[in-house]
Amino acid sequence: MASQYTTDGALASTTALAGADHVASYGRKPVPQPRGLISRRRILLGFCSLAILAIAVNIVFIVDAAMTSESARQAILNDARLITREATASALGQWPSLQTQGRFMNRLLILLGLSLACFGSFIYVFLRRFIAPLDEMTGSAIEVAGGNFNVSFPSGKHDEIGSLGEALYAVASNYQEVLLVTGTSAGRCRSTLDRMAEILAAEQKDSSPPAAYLKKYMIVLEQEIDMLRHMMNDFEFYQVHFDGRKAVRHAAATREAKE
Amino acid sequence: MGMRVLVVDDSGFMRKRIVAELNSWGHSVVGEAKGGEEAVELYRALKPDVVTMDITMRDKDGMTAAREILLEDPMAKIVFLTILQGEKYKAEARKLGAVGFVNKSDPLSLAEAIEQMEQHKKK
């Protein structure tokens, strides 16, 4: 059951809150765009530049091979016009090298095709598998940080992106639950206080003893406050801990601050 | 002897709190599910005495999961443990066949609801 009501406890909490007012801001802070997006775009841009350079070099090689092959063909044709034994022999002598050059060009074309396919596939997979879910997650996380929990996180994939999505969803759902429980509890406290005020107002009119009613409502308030205190104890904070009544800095954090 | 309870809630933090509360009252938590789909599967596998069921969950909400569990096992004891308030939800839960409807900010009511079921089980 609920513990005994203590006036000093309420006073201590009030003092702690009043003391915290000048050091803590309770307003929502704007969430800046993450720098990761910029660096990720730079990496992607660098990769694309390298890939385009490789493909361009490949194309230059192909054009060069084609031009060499064409000039050899022209040479054969020019020689053939002379219709001399030497020219025909020369043309026949060049024929195997022309075939080799043709094969070389075909291989370069295949290589170019494969390079383009690999590059295209990589860009497609990279955008679809990594960039799109990461962008979605970043957008959702910014929304949650701004107080909107009605967002979804990509999950269901059994990889790092899926795990990250699940973790972000867990953060959002925990945050939502805590806020809803806190809000509901605050609402019940407010209703209880309103009833207590009504009883005290009625007492002034008809002088009936309100003690029993007030005690009942005080128990409700005690339960709500204890529930919130227990919920606070389940959290771990950086540099501070909640001692049941107020936030206290960790000894290590205090030492560090002094140093 | 305490009851064997299956805790269903999508918030890990709330599951942790509910499990701690149930353990402190001497009940054993036999399973934890973070969604309606998992709740139905775990119910089939574990056959717990009681299920504490959240309502708002991502994959399958608590009402749908409870309906499926009760269709398979009409004797299943389901207590809705939710932040939602209002007669509308309570009436829907009753209509489904749930044995309790408790607000998350009032853990003592959960203790009372499970205690009632325990008494009922002993009889």
Residue A130, domain member (yes or no): yes
Residue A21 confidence class, pLDDT cut points 50, 70, 90: very low
- For residue A174, the distance in angstroms to the closest alpha carbon of chain B comes to 5
Residues ≥6 apart with Cβ < 8 Å to B26 = B1, B2
The mean-pLDDT minimum among A46-50, A171-175, A196-200, B59-63 falls in A46-50
Residue A29, domain member (yes or no): no
- For residue B50, the distance in angstroms to the closest alpha carbon of chain A comes to 22
Cβ contact A184–B108 (<8 Å)? no
B9 chain-A contacts, CB cut-off 8 A: 177
Name the token pair of A114. Answer: 């494969």
Strand ordering across the sheet containing B50-53: B28-33, B4-8, B50-53, B78-82, B100-103
pLDDT for residue A5 is more than 90: no
Residues A177 and A105 in one domain: no
- Output the CA–CA distances (angstroms, integers) from residue B37 to A178, B4, B55, B64, B88, in the order listed: 23, 20, 13, 9, 24
- Our count of domains for chain A comes to 2
Residue A21, domain member (yes or no): no
Condensed to tens digits (0 to 9), the pLDDT of residues A54-68 reads 888 878 888 887 787
Residues A140 and A39 in one domain: yes
- Summarize the confidence of residues A227-238 as an average pLDDT: 78
Residue A29 confidence class, pLDDT cut points 50, 70, 90: very low
The mean-pLDDT minimum among B28-32, B40-44, B100-104 falls in B100-104
Residues A246 and A174 in one domain: yes
Residues A109 and A163 in one domain: no
- For residue B115, the distance in angstroms to the closest alpha carbon of chain A comes to 14
Which residue, A181, A161, A257, is CA-closest to A224? A181
A156: left (phi over 0), alpha (psi -120 to 50) or beta: left
| Token pair 């009833």 in the structure block, residue | A195
Condensed to tens digits (0 to 9), the pLDDT of residues A132-164 reads 888 888 888 888 888 888 888 877 667 788 888
Condensed to tens digits (0 to 9), the pLDDT of residues B40-78 reads 999 999 999 999 999 988 778 899 999 999 999 999 999
Cβ contact A169–B58 (<8 Å)? yes
A169 chain-B contacts, CB cut-off 8 A: 58
Residues A126 and A172 in one domain: no
Question: What residues in chain A have their Cβ under 8 A from chain B's Cβ atoms?
Answer: 1, 152, 169-170, 173-174, 176-178, 180-181, 184-185, 188, 223-224, 227, 230-231, 234
Main-chain phi, psi angles of B39, to 5 degrees? -60, -45
Using DSSP, state whether A171 is helix, strand or coil.
helix
- Domain range list for chain B: 4-122
Q: Which of residues 4-33 of B touch A (CB under 8 A)?
A: 9-14, 16-17, 20
- Who wins on pLDDT, B74 or A211? B74
Residues A92 and A133 in one domain: yes
| Superfamily classification of domain B4-122 | Response regulator (3.40.50.2300)
Cβ contact B106–A1 (<8 Å)? no
Note the pLDDT of residue A70. Answer: 76
Each as own residue / partner, the long-range contacts of residues A2-10 (CB below 8 Å, 24 or more positions apart, any chain) are A2/A219, A2/A222, A2/A223, A2/A226, A3/A222, A3/A226, A5/A218, A5/A219, A5/A221, A5/A222, A9/A245
- Summarize the confidence of residues A222-249 as an average pLDDT: 77
Within 13 Å and on the Cβ side, how many CA atoms surround A246? 16
Give dist(CA A30, CA B107) in Å, integer.
Answer: 35
Residue A25, domain member (yes or no): no
Residue A28, domain member (yes or no): no
Longest dimension (CA), chain B: 38
Domain extent at residue A46: 34-147
Residues A50 and A87 in one domain: yes
Give dist(CA B69, CA B44) in Å, integer.
Answer: 8
Note the pLDDT of residue B65. Answer: 95
Give dist(CA A78, CA A98) in Å, integer.
Answer: 15
Cβ contact A177–B106 (<8 Å)? no
Provide the 10 A C-beta neighbour count for residue A225.
Answer: 18
- For residue A65, the distance in angstroms to the closest alpha carbon of chain B comes to 60
SS3 content of chain B, % helix, strand, coil (to 5): 50, 20, 30
Give dist(CA B21, CA B13) in Å, integer.
Answer: 13
Residues A83 and A139 in one domain: yes
Residues A233 and A191 in one domain: yes
Domain boundary among A84, A112, A147: A147
Burial class (CB in 10 A: 0-12, 13-18, 19+), A45: exposed
- In A9-138, DSSP assigns E strands to none
Residue A258 confidence class, pLDDT cut points 50, 70, 90: low
- Summarize the confidence of residues B9-21 as an average pLDDT: 87
For the ranges A83-97, B68-82, B97-111, the maximum mean pLDDT occurs at B68-82
Using DSSP, state whether B31 is helix, strand or coil.
strand
Residues A140 and A181 in one domain: no
Give dist(CA B59, CA B33) in Å, integer.
Answer: 12
Residue B4 confidence class, pLDDT cut points 50, 70, 90: very high
Are B84 and B56 within 8 A, CB to CB? yes
Residue A19 confidence class, pLDDT cut points 50, 70, 90: very low
Provide the 10 A C-beta neighbour count for residue A7.
Answer: 7
Note the pLDDT of residue A25. Answer: 37
Residues A98 and A114 in one domain: yes
Give dist(CA B120, CA A117) in Å, integer.
Answer: 69
